[in-house]
Every structure is written in structure tokens, then in C-alpha cells.
Amino acid sequence: MTVRASASLLALLFTLAGCGVVRDVTGADSAAPAGPSHADELRGAAEALDQGPYSFQFRTPTTIGAGAVDGSDGWLRIRVVGGDVGKARVTFEVLRRDGRHLVRSNPLTGDRWTRLDMSRVDPARRPALERFGDPAHARDLLAGASAVERDGERRYRGTLDLSRAVDPETSRLVDAEHLAALTAEQARAVPFEATADAGQRLLGLRFTLPAAGGRPEQPSEISYSQHGFEPDLSAPFAGKLEPAPATVYDFVNS
């Protein structure tokens, strides 16, 4: 199980400039400036998540998570219930600065900051600790957005072509085994809904993996809030810290 993520709810908005070609009565083409497509609007809203801190909440059929992240300053907090940790509640925080990683976890470190040795982290798991940002990887998922329509002022509907998405299994919202069970046709047409705010920032994303391989439909969703809030990034980088215990590496490498 990888680590990521604290709190809130979803909603998306954008303005659409005119697009298409206008013909005059003589038959001459007069091209109007083409605005971004609805899919491009959504991708821009997801990219805006990398521009500052925000809180998030996510839910899948097996896991509930909440947290906060600041990709630019290297900060992540996540609380997870379910998944590989069963009914246990685990709080996991990571601070990164100048190539160093500090970890604090309740109950894994007794809620004390400890030093994380990245060489002991499975290379497949390192991106979760090195690429701070959206735990859903909405920008990557929306790379395959198609047939996108606006449903009201700030809502969008369409399909995700997961065969075009960038590493969709790295998203906390996508079960890798369920994804592998989808037919090619199913993977190209996963229904989704999304919302954005007036500042063109993603507020929510919801989609449902269709039933496949004996598995029922898998709805998943994430919401984003508190865009631009000021998190407490203080940490004892200059202090003397104990190394992270083995239980931390067991957790991040599982």
C-alpha cells in the first residue's frame, strides 16, 4: 500500500470561448478564435493542483482517506482507513527538504518525527514519497478524457480512456487488479463526472470502473478544498532524529 493525503469536497468551473467556423453569406470562411475544449478545461483544472497547497478526501470501495498536500514545498499528510491496513487507522506524514525525508506516523513511530532512508524504500514505492501532489493523479487520468460535455455551469461529464491515461494504476482511486481485468473496450469508456471552481481549479472527480473479471462495479471519488491555505511546514530538520523503525518500511513497501 502506498502513502498519500487530508480533507474536503469537490466542484469544477470554467468558461468556454467560442469555437468553430462561421460562414458569411458569400461562402467565405471567417474563423472565430477557438477556445479550449471541455476536456482541455478539465486538464487545466487538474494541472492547477500543482500550484499550491490544498486538502483532499477520497473514497474507494475498500479505502477512505483524507489529507493535505503541498507539492511545491514538499509536504504531505494522509490518514487512511481500510485497504491493506484493514480497520486500522494510520496517520502518515512526510516532510521533504533538500533531498531529506522525515516521517511521522501514529502508531508506527509513536507520533515522533523520524529520519527516512530512501535507499530502504522499494523503488516502485518511491514516487509516492518523491512526487508530492494529488493522490488521485487526476491530471494523468484526465489525459484520456473524451466525449466531455458541460452539465451545468461548473460540472462536466464524459468518459475516461484509461488506455491513454498516464500510469492510471498509480492513482489511489484505481485498483490495479480491477483495471487489468477490464476489456479494451471497457478501459476506453469509463464514465466520469467532475467539477471545478471559478478559479479554474479542480474540486472533484468521480468515476466508476465497470464490472469485470467477476468484480462488481467500482465507484471511486475524490474532492479537493482549501486551495491556497497555509499549512504548518515546520519540522525538526536541524534536530537530532532517530531513524525510522522497520515498521515504517514495512508499511511503505507493502
What torsion do the CA atoms of 180, 184, 188, 194 make, to the nearest 10 degrees? -20
Nearest 10 degrees: Cα torsion 106, 55, 82, 175: -130
pLDDT at 125: 84
Instruction: Characterize 202-233 residue by residue with b for buried, 16 or more Cβ atoms within 10 angstroms of its Cβ, and e for exposed.
Output: bbbbbbebbebeeeeebebbbbbbebeeebee
Overall size of the chain counted in residues: 254
CA–CA separation, 134 vs 222, rounded Å?
Answer: 10
Burial of 164 (0-12, 13-18, 19+ CB in 10 A): middle
Would you say residue 178 has pLDDT above 80? yes
> Which pLDDT band, with edges at 50, 70 and 90, does 75 fall under?
confident
Closest CA to 162 of 181, 154, 151, 149: 181
**β-pairing verdict for 145-150 and 155-160:** antiparallel
The mean pLDDT of 243-248, rounded to a whole number, is 96
Q: Report strand pairing: 54-59 vs 63-70.
A: antiparallel
235 or 190, higher pLDDT: 190
pLDDT of residue 34: 52
What pLDDT sits at residue 246? 96
CB under 8 Å to 238, separation ≥6 — which residues?
Answer: none
Identify the weakest region by mean pLDDT among 4-13, 82-91, 164-173, 220-229.
4-13
Residue 219 has pLDDT above 90, yes or no: yes
Confidence label for 247 from pLDDT (cuts 50, 70 and 90): very high
Radius of gyration over every alpha carbon of the chain, rounded to an integer in angstroms: 20
Q: What local confidence, expressed as pLDDT, does residue 224 receive? A: 96
Is-contact 49 224, C-beta < 8 A?
Answer: yes
Predicted confidence at residue 179, as pLDDT, reads: 95
Q: In this model, does residue 16 exceed pLDDT 50?
A: no
Q: Percentage of the chain surpassing pLDDT 90?
A: 44
Instruction: Report the pLDDT value the prediction gives residue 10, as an integer from 0 to 100.
Output: 26
Q: Is 40 helix (H, G, I), strand (E, B) or coil?
A: helix
Global pTM reads: 0.76
